[in-house]
A and B are shown apart, each in its own frame.
Chain A
Amino acid sequence: MLYQDGGQPRPYPATIRNRTPVQGTGGAGPRPGIQKEIKTAMSTSPVPTNGQPDEQPRDAAFWSSYTTGLKVSNVPSGALNLNVEGKLVNGPLQGFGRMWQKTYSITLNGTSLTAKEVIKTWKERFPEFWPKGNRFFGPLTGIAPGEVALLNLTLTGGIKLSTGVLVLYADEESFTLMTPQGHIFAGWITFSALEENGSLVAQAQVLMRASDPIYELGFRLGMYKEEDKFWQHTLKSLASSFGIDVPVEMQAICVDPRMQWSHAKNVWHNAAMRTTIYTISTPLRWIRGRGRKRNQQ
């Protein structure tokens, strides 16, 4: 069967029905002005894939390079830099809990804005749209592929959490953040704007699993609601910045209801626990630091 135009199946044309697939036509070739050096750190030798010369496709500049561990290049004042340096990023497949796809969207009617303008504003003012008590310390260069941002969050019950995100993908109409080990959830969030049927829609789509059993329990005890509120607030703030006040629509799909018990060990990286231990032990570190200074004098 051939699927196209919204997924309506129709029979193959007779000439196609038994065809051998054409190999090696991948790669659209580079677009002028888009050249990016990709640093590969593959675990295997660079094997030719589809048999074509490896020209950079047009999206090459939009993706982060492969990295074996996150690196924080700049720590802004006021930011707590914990649980990020050297951590691997985790996609939804590496998490523990149920896999959810949640889409929060808002229709920005009555404006002459374009999708690109919305995303430009969203990128530039990203931290401003967050709820109070949560801080996003973006890279100096702004939201760009491969950059790492620090997050200082406040969870239910006032628990502080220091973590970060990698900018996995960023183009003019969308950007995606991916979480590191220890983050509340393993997965990514894609922020996008879309012009469709005369309407302009901005949305945040989260594809995630709770990173470990503790977070999964937390989600079931109320963090899912908190997360919903968080992104609803963000979208409403974005709309408000354009002078629009409309409700946020939300759609949640449970992609996989199973727990991945093989990933329960992610709890070792739990950033909430590590941040709490760090905070509790602050007086101890202070005393130890003073002791060292005295010894040096």
Chain B
Amino acid sequence: MPARNLEAQVRHQPRVAIVDLHGEINAFAEDVLNAAYADAESRRAEEILLNFSDVDYINSTGIALIVSLLARARKSKRRLLACGLSQHYVEIFQITRLVDFMSVFPDESSALSENPKSIITPREK
């Protein structure tokens, strides 16, 4: 299977910016991910939702990139959320302890609902 370079699209909603990710999150994804994140926070959204439903590969460098985004979000007191992760990547988020800081939702609609029900709720805010 050929590698799919990461593409990201940002949709701005009143309270939340949604970053749709497509492809692979690896060392080559850094510029795309950072540019999309900068766009997402440009309108001062309270929350940024990373939509992983079209991401088919994340390696350890990719996880490190997500950690960097999480650090940026915490610095600016924004919540970073995740949705659309396959069961496998939910487990990877657990192993790497990203879930200590990040709510993980099954899909976008559940993340954006009035009473969001996450798969995992972070232990730390």
B-contacting residues of A (Cβ < 8 Å)?
Answer: 1-9, 12, 16, 21-28, 31, 38, 40, 42-44, 46-52, 54, 56-60, 62-67, 89-94, 99, 101, 168-169, 171, 174, 176, 178, 188, 190, 192, 194, 205, 207, 255-256, 258, 262
Contact = CB atoms under 8 A, between A and B. Distances in A.
A256 B119 contact: no
B107 A168 contact: no
A171 B58 CA distance: 12
Interface in B46-80: 51-61, 64, 67-68, 70-72, 74-75
B61 A91 contact: no
B54 A22 contact: yes
A28 B85 CA distance: 12
Contacts, number: 185
B52 A1 contact: no
The majority secondary structure among interface residues of chain A is loop
A58 B18 contact: no
20 contacts: A1-B10, A6-B32, A12-B9, A21-B51, A26-B52, A26-B89, A42-B91, A48-B87, A49-B86, A50-B52, A56-B88, A57-B86, A57-B89, A58-B1, A63-B92, A64-B95, A93-B71, A188-B96, A190-B60, A256-B74
B64 A4 contact: no
Contacts of A7: 31-36
Contact of B108 (A23, A60, A91): A23
Interface of B: 1, 5-11, 18, 20, 27, 31-36, 39, 51-61, 64, 67-68, 70-72, 74-75, 83-92, 94-98, 100-101, 104, 106-108, 119-120, 124
A90 B97 contact: yes
A62 B60 CA distance: 10
Most buried by B among A12, A40, A60, A63: A63
Contacts of B120: 42-44
A56 B56 CA distance: 11
Contact of A2 (B9, B60, B85, B101): B9
Given A25-B53, A93-B97, A93-B101, A205 B64 contact: yes
A136 to B, nearest CB: 19
Nearest to A47: B119
